[in-house]
């Protein structure tokens, strides 16, 4: 028993020494950009991952460009992933194809399973599955990038639109002595998040692209926008909430001041709660949908149908609801046709409120695009704004500079380059030898050897 313990202690010390030595080597290395690779095998890993040594080990592993662990058990794979995740605090991705990778895949933040030779175990446990390893590049750089932008835009817009809608109800409470009278009809409120503003958001979240997929692959540096978290920072969240609050204020105040107390129509009629509610709600629907039209950068026919169709369906709903007998439609009976539709004031107010609400965001967008453009804006302009051929010199140069020289696979690339050069050299040699062999001088020398001797 004690022997076992002593042997174990010796192994532990040995491993600790190795870790320290390797760390020293890295520190002493003059050129800081040189890549290091760490190779660990299963038995050593078992000891290195113990609680007292694991910090040293992880510190060393994290400074290396790549770490190769061989002969590890599935439990160790999962353990490493968990430790790296906790130690670095960064987003981890695990990819594997066999049943022994399942632990690792589930442990990582993003687990990718490869379906194929080793069965479907990894696929069933993973978040994403791809058929071949080479598709990982496309998954990350194209779909990961798009997904990040889509989700951040969608969440921010969703918060904005609900703030706009909800706050107008609260402002009205100030006018009704906080008694709880609701400005809008119950059915309006049901329709808001269900039909009138949901489809454009879905089209934004599913189909939005800032740049097309081949440009994503040519400019991998765009992926950094997701890594740096540019599009979903606190600044943006607060900005959108502020935009929502400001918009709701504008909508509420303008509708109240324009529509009352004097008449709003040629016939001298004045507004009552149904008219005010209808006009305010119409302005909200228009504003919110036009705002998403400003956010979307990639317009297909689907987006157009959803956005303008939502607005149009609001009027259809009003006509239909107003046509129901008064037992069901109560205050909204024939509201659009008889009372509000023929009043020019209604349409003018909608136009005014929509433009005023969207003006701050539009000005912000203009200033940002003109003087502080983001990477995808510049690349969009390079591709779509100019009439220059895509593969010109500047495009290629920017392409190259958007790729950071990587340290992964360094030696393999060096070896490949050497092999290539050797091959070229060999070919040249063979060519020269062949050309000498076939030259007329040589042939003449070889056929008449006696004459040369003289």
Partner 1 sequence: MIKAPMNSTSTQLQDPSAPGRYSKRPQYSRFTQQELPACKPILTPRWVISVFMLLTIVFVPIGLASLFASQDVVEIVNRYDDACAPSGTKSDKVRFIQSDASKTCNITLTVPKHMKQPIYVYYQLDNFYQNHRRYVKSRSDKQLRSRKNENIISTCNPEDKANGMTIVPCGLVAWSMFNDTFSFSTGKDVQLPVTKKGISWKSDRDHKFGKDVFPKNFQNGSFIGGARLNESIPLSEQEDLIVWMRTAALPTFRKLFGKIEVDLQAGDTINVVVQNNYNTYSFNGKKKLVLSTASWLGGKNSFIGIAYLAVGGLCFVLAVAFTIIYLVKPRRLGDPSYLSWNANPSGLASLFASQDVPKHMKQPIYVYYQLDNFYQNHRRRLGDPSYLSWNANPSGH
- Cβ nearer to partner 1, comparing 52 with 327: 327
If one asks whether residue 413 binds partner 1 (CB under 8 A), the answer comes out as no
Please list every residue from 307 through 366 that binds partner 1, using CB under 8 A. Answer: 325-327, 330, 333-334, 338-339, 343-345, 348-349, 351-352, 355-356, 359, 362-363, 365-366
**Beta-carbon neighbour count of residue 54 at 10 Å?**
17
Contacts 24+ apart (CB under 8 A), 215-219: 215/379, 215/383, 216/141, 216/142, 216/145, 216/146, 217/137, 217/138, 217/141, 217/142, 218/399, 218/402, 219/375, 219/379, 219/398, 219/399, 219/402
Q: What residues contact residue 311 under an 8 Å CB cut-off, 6+ apart?
A: 196, 285, 286, 289
Any idea which residue has 């968990």 for tokens? 82
Q: What residues contact residue 129 under an 8 Å CB cut-off, 6+ apart?
A: 112, 113, 114, 115, 122, 123
- Cβ nearer to partner 1, comparing 103 with 277: 277
Find the shortest distance in angstroms from Cβ 320 to partner 1.
16
Among 44, 78, 271, 350, binds partner 1 (CB under 8 A): 271
Site string for partner 1, 89-108 (x = CB under 8 A): --------------------
Count residues contacting partner 1 (CB under 8 A)?
A: 93
Among 103, 144, 200, 277, binds partner 1 (CB under 8 A): 277
If one asks whether residue 175 binds partner 1 (CB under 8 A), the answer comes out as yes
Among 221, 245, 246, 295, binds partner 1 (CB under 8 A): 221
Any idea which residue has 């290396």 for tokens? 64
Among 3, 51, 179, 447, binds partner 1 (CB under 8 A): 179
Among 3, 31, 51, 370, binds partner 1 (CB under 8 A): 370
User: Which range in 190-198, 312-320, 397-405, 421-429 contacts partner 1 by CB under 8 A?
Assistant: 397-405
Largest CA distance in the chain: 130
Q: What residues contact residue 269 under an 8 Å CB cut-off, 6+ apart?
A: 263, 339
Find the shortest distance in angstroms from Cβ 83 to partner 1.
29
Among 6, 68, 194, 378, binds partner 1 (CB under 8 A): 378
Residue 125 parent element (H or E)? helix 121-125
Find the shortest distance in angstroms from Cβ 65 to partner 1.
14
């Amino acid at each position: 028993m004690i022997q076992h313990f002593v042997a174990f202690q010796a192994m532990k010390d040995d491993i600790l020494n190795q870790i320290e030595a390797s760390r020293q080597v890295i520190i002493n290395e003059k050129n800081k950009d040189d890549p290091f690779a760490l190779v660990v095998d299963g038995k050593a890993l078992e000891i290195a991952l113990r609680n007292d040594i694991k910090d040293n080990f992880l510190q060393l592993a994290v400074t290396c460009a790549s770490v190769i662990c061989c002969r590890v058990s599935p439990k160790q794979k999962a353990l490493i992933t968990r430790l790296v995740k906790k130690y670095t605090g960064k987003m981890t991705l695990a990819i594997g194809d066999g049943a022994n990778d399942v632990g690792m895949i589930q442990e990582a933040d993003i687990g990718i399973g490869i379906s194929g030779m080793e069965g479907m175990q990894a696929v069933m446990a993973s978040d994403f599955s791809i058929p071949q390893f080479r598709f990982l590049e496309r998954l990350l750089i194209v779909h990961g990038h798009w997904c990040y932008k889509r989700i951040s835009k969608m969440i921010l817009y969703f918060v904005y639109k609900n703030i706009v809608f909800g706050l107008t109800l609260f402002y009205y409470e100030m006018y009704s002595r906080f008694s709880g009278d609701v400005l809008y009809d119950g059915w309006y409120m049901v329709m808001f998040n269900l039909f009138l503003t949901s489809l454009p958001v879905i089209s934004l979240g599913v189909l939005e692209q800032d740049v097309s997929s081949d440009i994503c692959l040519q400019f991998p540096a765009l992926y950094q926008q997701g890594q740096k978290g540019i599009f979903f920072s606190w600044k943006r969240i607060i900005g959108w909430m502020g935009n929502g609050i400001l918009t709701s204020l504008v909508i509420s105040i303008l509708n109240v001041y324009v529509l009352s107390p004097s008449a709003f129509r040629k016939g001298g009629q004045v507004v009552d709660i149904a008219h005010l509610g209808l006009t305010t709600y119409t302005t909200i629907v228009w504003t919110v949908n036009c705002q998403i039209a400003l956010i979307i950068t990639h317009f297909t026919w689907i987006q157009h149908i959803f956005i303008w169709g939502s607005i149009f369906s609001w009027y259809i709903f009003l006509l239909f609801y107003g046509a129901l007998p008064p037992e069901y439609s109560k205050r909204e009976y024939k509201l659009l046709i008889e009372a509000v539709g023929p009043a020019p004031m209604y349409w003018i107010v909608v136009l005014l409120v929509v433009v005023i609400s969207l003006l701050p965001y539009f000005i912000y967008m203009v200033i940002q695009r003109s003087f502080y453009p983001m990477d995808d804006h510049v690349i969009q302009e390079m591709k779509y704004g100019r009439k220059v051929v895509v593969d010109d010199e500047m495009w290629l140069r920017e392409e190259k500079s958007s790729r950071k020289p990587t340290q992964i696979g360094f030696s393999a690339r060096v070896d490949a380059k050497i092999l290539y050069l050797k091959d070229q050299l060999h070919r040249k040699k063979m060519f020269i030898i062949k050309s000498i062999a076939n030259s007329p001088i040589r042939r003449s020398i070889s056929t008449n050897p006696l004459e040369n001797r003289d």
